[in-house]
Amino acid sequence: MTDEELKLKIAACAKCGSCRSVCTLYPERRDEQSVARGKIALIESSLAAPVPLCPGDTIPLGEESDAAIRDALADCLLCGRCERNCPNQVAVEEILVGGRTRLAGKLGLSAWKRWLFGEMLPSAGARGAIRAAGGFAQKLFLRKVPTESGLHYRFPDLAGLHGRTVPALPPSGFVASLPEGEGLIGEVLLFVGCVFDIVMPGIGRAAYETMKASGASVAVLRESACCGLPALASGDREGALKSVTKNIASIRARSPKSVVFPCGSCLTMFRREVLSLIPEGDPLRADADWVSGRCVDYATFILETGLAGRLNPMPVVEKGSVGWHDPCHLSGTLGRGGVARDLLTRVAGDAFREMAGASLCCGYGGTFNVRDYPTSGRLGANKVSLAVRGGTSTIVTACSGCILQLRDMAARFSTKTRVRHLAEIVRELLP
């Protein structure tokens, strides 16, 4: 986005401040720069021409101010609540990501981010190697925490690690565990996503098995890159484009009828963001448009195949004990929360009840969770505690970041609470 385009989008903001009342972060920070209005004003100031004090003199916005604005912009979950509730339909997310990109271009990205977004995430092989090393290290150095959602490992509560827990990394990822020749050809393509492939492969497998049980012929995109959302949100358009180019080319070459996403954030990248990364006139745009139009969420796919009507009844569990957590991207940005609820109603019957605080952000926010884990953790703990107090013992959702966050919170504060992906619930009920 050019500076002029960014200024035009900013001009739609009336600075009314309504976004403050819905901002996920405002109750934590209580300051103007944590909300959309403040962040937009900061970007506006960074775009403004230097102010002449007297003829020939100016006050240029120095690198220090740019760095401060970059930090303020990074302090946001990109949950989109401000945008969805803005009376002027300001494109807040585009403005914030545009501001981050502009400052990343001006100040540069750290070496580790360049490596992560440009080399590691686009490469399936590199991600697998990191997983193997991580799995080995967590067994050696971390303490086990068994939970209802699976084994976790806890970091020590020191040196900024804050007792965070992470899922036990399995010896092999989902794609790597597929037998040779399995899932190579099919009308429907599964885009499993990095987390459900290498960190929680059981969810990738559950999505694959239930999609196959629906009667569709299902292929797995084995050579996928990361969806590109972490790079884009960090202002690294080049890194994001590298992943997007690889994915679009691989998917288009297979010409699937549809591409199914168990993760709502990966789906948002394909449905909403990919075209904005590809310049006008680039031949990749036509392919990206073709692919984007065929991308669907897991619940929509399962409902449309009629599989929900052929499942076994759910074993008796307490009425109202199963709840749905709305991922910000899947439910808020793409509006697919209703479909997920329809599927849960079909499969869980009376056990499903609207969960207290269902639409509250879980506090993960991608890199926000790494940047400020204590705040992210408070938001997540509040979410789980509200759900548990409302009688929910199984939280179901369909986003990799939300599952990482909610399972971490359950492991730390409520080990009996189960956090499941929709596909895991459906797989348990297969005839």
Near ligand SF4 by CB under 6 A, which window of 18-26, 133-141, 232-240, 417-425? 18-26
Phi first, then psi: what are they for 398, rounded to 5°?
-150, 55
The sign of the dihedral angle between the CA atoms of 309, 315, 319, 321 is negative
Q: Which of 43, 86, 291, 339 binds ligand SF4 (CB under 6 A)?
A: 86
Q: Which two tokens stand for residue 97?
A: 């990501």
For residue 48, the minimal CB distance to ligand SF4 (Å) is: 17
For residue 152, the minimal CB distance to ligand SF4 (Å) is: 26
Near ligand SF4 by CB under 6 A, which window of 32-40, 46-54, 312-320, 352-360? 32-40
Distance CA 351, CA 322 (A): 6
Distance CA 170, CA 245 (A): 29
For residue 396, the minimal CB distance to ligand SF4 (Å) is: 23
Q: Which of 6, 10, 19, 226 binds ligand SF4 (CB under 6 A)?
A: 19
DSSP class of 157:
S
Near ligand SF4 by CB under 6 A, which window of 17-25, 141-149, 304-312, 379-387? 17-25
Told to check if 73 binds ligand SF4 by CB under 6 A, we report no
For residue 76, the minimal CB distance to ligand SF4 (Å) is: 3
The sign of the dihedral angle between the CA atoms of 296, 299, 423, 310 is negative
Q: Which two tokens stand for residue 154?
A: 């806890």
For residue 83, the minimal CB distance to ligand SF4 (Å) is: 7
Told to check if 27 binds ligand SF4 by CB under 6 A, we report no
Told to check if 260 binds ligand SF4 by CB under 6 A, we report no
Told to check if 102 binds ligand SF4 by CB under 6 A, we report no
Phi first, then psi: what are they for 31, rounded to 5°?
-140, 160
Told to check if 43 binds ligand SF4 by CB under 6 A, we report no
How is 277-329 classified by DSSP, letter by letter? HSPTT-THHHHHHHHHTTEEEHHHHHHHHTGGGGSPPPPP--TT-EEE---II
Near ligand SF4 by CB under 6 A, which window of 15-23, 197-205, 211-219, 227-235? 15-23
Of 354, 358, 347, 357, the residue nearest 321 (C-alpha) = 354
Residues that bind ligand SF4 (CB under 6 A): 13-19, 23-25, 35-37, 76-82, 86, 88, 90, 92
